[in-house]
Amino acid sequence: MRVVVPFGVQSPKTRLAPLLVDDERRDFAVAMLRDVLDAVRDAGGTPLVLADAPLGEPIDAPVAVDDRPLTDAVNNQLAAGTPVTVVMADLALATPEALSRLFETAGDVVAAPGLGGGTNALVVRHPDFSVDYHGASIADHRRLADEVGATFVEVDSLRLAVDVDEPADFVDVLLHGAGRAREWVVDAGIHLQRGDGRVGVGRARR
């Protein structure tokens, strides 16, 4: 299975700025990317990193640089032929088992929705399907599949639903994560904060 992993080199993870400075956000983003690439390979996929700028450091996967918006860059990859899977680089909980289930699910278009309405992973087997990652993209992808007569199947998976964009997302990384991303968070002094309500995170500066 050919697997495209989009990765934002320019200004990565800006919404994590309340806890992480620029260099830290980049380092954490790369840690997540490496974990995702490992999970893809262990699930039998062949990953290609689709970056918006040169990475500037070695990554154990081929890299294609395309500085166009995400939708245009991914659609260019789809034009090269299907089937192809798109897996976002910030799925810090992704496991080979969760990705194998995604790869093996039948359907012209198979999607793993994100918790906030996005599309965190997508298997495309229909040659006329195109992506649109603006806004609530899972709804757009349902519509786009219908427009080209493609079957659309959703995979319900916590491991693929959590993408790390906000400081609150570190809760899931600490509780359910493993690998480089979780180790990076722990080493950075980010920890769970338990109160009377919802669990949050804080940071012990070192």
The predicted model gives 15-37 an average pLDDT of: 96
pLDDT score at 57: 86
> Considering the domain boundaries, does residue 181 fall inside one?
no
> Considering the domain boundaries, does residue 46 fall inside one?
yes
**What is the pTM for the complete model shown?**
0.95
Instruction: For residues 83 and 144, give the distance between their C-alpha atoms in angstroms, rounded to a whole number.
Output: 17
> Considering the domain boundaries, does residue 188 fall inside one?
no
Write the CATH number for 98: 3.90.550.10
> Considering the domain boundaries, does residue 111 fall inside one?
yes
Burial code (b: 16+ CB inside 10 Å, e: under 16) for 18-45 equals ebbeeeebbebbbbbbbbbbbbbbebeb
Q: pLDDT tens digit string along 56-93?
A: 889 999 999 999 999 999 999 999 998 999 999 999 99
The predicted model gives 48-61 an average pLDDT of: 94
Instruction: For residues 95 and 115, give the distance between their C-alpha atoms in angstroms, rounded to a whole number.
Output: 17
The predicted model gives 103-115 an average pLDDT of: 97
CB 103 within 8 A of CB 43: yes
Instruction: For residues 136 and 119, give the distance between their C-alpha atoms in angstroms, rounded to a whole number.
Output: 8
CB neighbourhood size of 143 (10 A): 11
> Considering the domain boundaries, does residue 153 fall inside one?
yes
> Considering the domain boundaries, does residue 106 fall inside one?
yes
> Considering the domain boundaries, does residue 192 fall inside one?
no
pLDDT score at 201: 94
Q: pLDDT tens digit string along 125-137?
A: 999 999 999 889 9
The predicted model gives 158-178 an average pLDDT of: 95
> Considering the domain boundaries, does residue 195 fall inside one?
no
Is the pLDDT reported for residue 197 higher than 80? no
The predicted model gives 2-23 an average pLDDT of: 94
pLDDT score at 78: 96
Domain total in the chain:
1
Domain that holds residue 51: 2-163
From residue 172, alpha-carbon distances to 102, 106, 181, 189, 206 in Å are 21, 29, 11, 16, 23
pLDDT score at 206: 57
